[in-house]
Chains A and B, each alone.
Chain A
Amino acid sequence: MGIITISREFGSGGETIARLVAEKTKFHLVNKETIIKGLSDYGIEQPPEDPEKAVSKEDIGPDGRNYIEAMHDYIYDLAIRNNLVILGRGGSFLFKDYPPALHVRVIAQFTHRVNKVMKLYGLNSETAVKLVKEKDHEKRQYYRRIFDLNWNNTRPYDLVLNTEKMGLEDAADIVVAGYRIHAEPRQVKDGPDGTDIENGILTSPAEEEADKFMHSSEEEFASMLDFYRIRWDYEPKTFLLEWDSEGNVIEAFSPDFYLPDQDLYIELTTQKPKQAWRKNRKIRRMKELYPHVSVRLIDKKSFESLLKKHHPEESKGE
């Protein structure tokens, strides 16, 4: 679903902006607290050393990494069903290839942020300077260690807001407008030429099939289907999923296999949360547009472990 990510320098007002944007758009706000609570509900507790603090001192251990991986999975999972405003957490990196999304960076000069923090937390200037420096350092280290990115680089963002001279309410309005204009998907009820959605299925002519290239896991899967005498077609149909305002197709889905005797499409998928999120989103869209079409996602890892069952001496090497 729709994503707005807000990356911010400490003391720039990014947190407030995120909250305001969530209120205005009715998107679900994802911040550190909601993630800790969400993971805790699944029985995943924070490791004793907060990974964010730990990462600035040295490389976090396996516990920290596992927690952060769980956090990423959790966010991707939330994104399947909800529109999100994601504060921090490297959200812009996690969702960089997944439109519709707007990636925002909120900045302000160091002295401006120190003054802000002094007022907000009632600190003297020396303490505030120390705190802001520490937080900036933590962020740089987090980005470097977890994502191998340079925190200071503003190029990845769609929108950079400098709050030194901009009110936070105005900033939030700009973000919302930015999302609506730049990121919000525009859907067309009918396909191009006003044709029915049902006709939005492209069938590859048989002649093109001959050159189709199968990955080895797909070949193996087909071989297994052959063994059990299950008829299959490889990538026989492309389903159109999303159009822009001019009627151009911007997203489509070509399931790997069709089993005619089961009237079932099969898509082999890896378990990586990033890809799973994208696939799941396509499947959901399929259900919306083509409710009579059955599609099953099959996890490559579990399929490979099946093969391990039957070839215990061979290692698959994948």
Chain B
Amino acid sequence: MTDKIPENNDQLKVIITREEIKEKVEELGKKITDDYAGKDLVLIGVLRGSIYFLVDLTRKMDIPFAIDFISISQYGEQSDSAGVVRITKDLDLSISGKDVLVVEDIVDTGLSLGYLLRNLKTRNPADLKVCTLLNVEARRIVEVPVDYKGFEIPNIFVVGYGLDYNEKYRNLRYIAEFDRP
């Protein structure tokens, strides 16, 4: 992990600092600890962007929990020939009767998360909630419930702390606005 901008470029503009992320993660960790005390908590990280957030978040939680991961195809990915959203890596655990918390790096259009929630609901969890590090209300197309929000950001393209551009910049310790070529 590094704070240094990996390459010399003027394309990165820090919008959320490392310190701010640390404080927010701690705050959310505490809140989730309080809310889920005594519950059968399963955190589901949505690959791949949310992994850094998920790990740091769970390190700030003082209750027992299980972790699993899920991945769904994105609109426009070359590899997807079916032309429709699919789960590309499914859960290993059963979530029936569990208190599920989906952990996302960013929620913007709500399309991806909406599909995910519809799918998870069919597995009969006892409860289904969402925690996201970044929320972009300005880009929302469909309503989705988001129970824990780290930061509200405007309609810009960001990288860092798990978020990538062409697989790069995930390991930045801050969130930056990225000027795409």
How many chain B residues touch A (Cβ–Cβ < 8 Å)? 24
Interface residues on A, range: 20 to 34
User: Which residues in chain B, 106-156, are within 8 Å of chain A measured between CB atoms?
Assistant: 108-109, 111-112, 114-115, 138-143, 155
A159 CA / B112 CA spacing, docked (Å): 55
> Of B23-31, B63-71, B75-83, B92-100, which binds chain A?
B75-83
A5 CA / B62 CA spacing, docked (Å): 64
Cβ of A306 < 8 Å from any Cβ of B?
Answer: yes
A310 CA / B165 CA spacing, docked (Å): 10
> Once the chains bind, are A229 and B115 in contact (CB under 8 Å)?
yes
> Once the chains bind, are B75 and A228 in contact (CB under 8 Å)?
yes
Cβ of B14 < 8 Å from any Cβ of A?
Answer: no
Known: A308-B180, A310-B75. A228 touches B112 (CB 8 A): yes
> Of A80-88, A240-248, A259-267, which binds chain B?
A259-267
Known: A308-B180, A312-B165. A228 touches B139 (CB 8 A): no
Residue from B84, B139, B155, B180 within 8 A of A229 (CB atoms) = B84
> How distant is A315 from chain B, measured CB to nearest CB, in Å?
9
Known: A224-B75, A302-B155. A230 touches B111 (CB 8 A): yes
Cβ of B9 < 8 Å from any Cβ of A?
Answer: no
Cβ of B85 < 8 Å from any Cβ of A?
Answer: yes
A267 CA / B75 CA spacing, docked (Å): 20
> Once the chains bind, are B139 and A312 in contact (CB under 8 Å)?
no
Cβ of B166 < 8 Å from any Cβ of A?
Answer: yes
Residue from B114, B138, B143, B165 within 8 A of A228 (CB atoms) = B114
> How distant is B140 from chain A, measured CB to nearest CB, in Å?
8
Cβ of A309 < 8 Å from any Cβ of B?
Answer: yes
